[in-house]
Amino acid sequence: MTDIVEQAARVAYETYHKAGEFRPYEIAQALADAGLLAEPVRTVPTREEIARITHQQTCERCEDPQERYDYRPSDLYAADAVRALLAGQPTVAEVKAQALEEAADYWENETHQNIVPTWLRERAQQIRSEK
C-alpha cells in the first residue's frame, strides 16, 4: 500500500468517526483539505527536448558550444524510444483510481463496513470513465 493511500484511509476513517455516520462530502472535503486530491502534474517532454538532452549528454567531441544544443537524427531515435517507455506508464486518472481502490480495500479490511469502500470504488470507476 502506498503512503498516499494510507494517508487517505486515515483521513477518511477519522472523518467518518468524528461525524459518527457516513458523510461522503465531508470525507471528500477532508481529503481535499489534506492535499490528497490534488491533481499531480505529469508532463511528457517533446521528442526534440529528449533528443537535445540525449545529445548533450553524449556529445563528447562538441567543441562548438552551439553544437551541444543541436541534435542528430540518431538522437531522435533515442527520443522515440524514451517516449514509448513513458507512454506505457499509467495515466494520472488511473493512478488516482488505483489509490481509491486501495483505500477502499484498506477501509473494508479495517472496519468491515461496505458504505465507504463502495463509494470509493464507484468514484474510481467515475474517474476512469472521465475523458
Rounded to an integer, what distance in angstroms lies between the CA atom of residue 103 and that of residue 111? Answer: 12
If we measure between CA atoms, which residue out of 126, 108, 124 comes closest to residue 116?
A: 108
Identify the pLDDT of residue 54. 82
- 94 assigned to some structural domain: no
- 26 assigned to some structural domain: yes
Q: Which three cell numbers stand for residue 27?
A: 470525507
The amino acid at 54 = T
- Count of domains observed in the chain: 2
- 92 assigned to some structural domain: no
pTM check: above 0.95: no
In terms of residue numbers, what domain contains 123?
3-41+100-129
Same domain, 52 and 80: yes
Per run of 10 residues, the mean pLDDT along the chain (length 131 residues) is 68 74 72 71 76 79 65 85 83 85 87 84 88 54
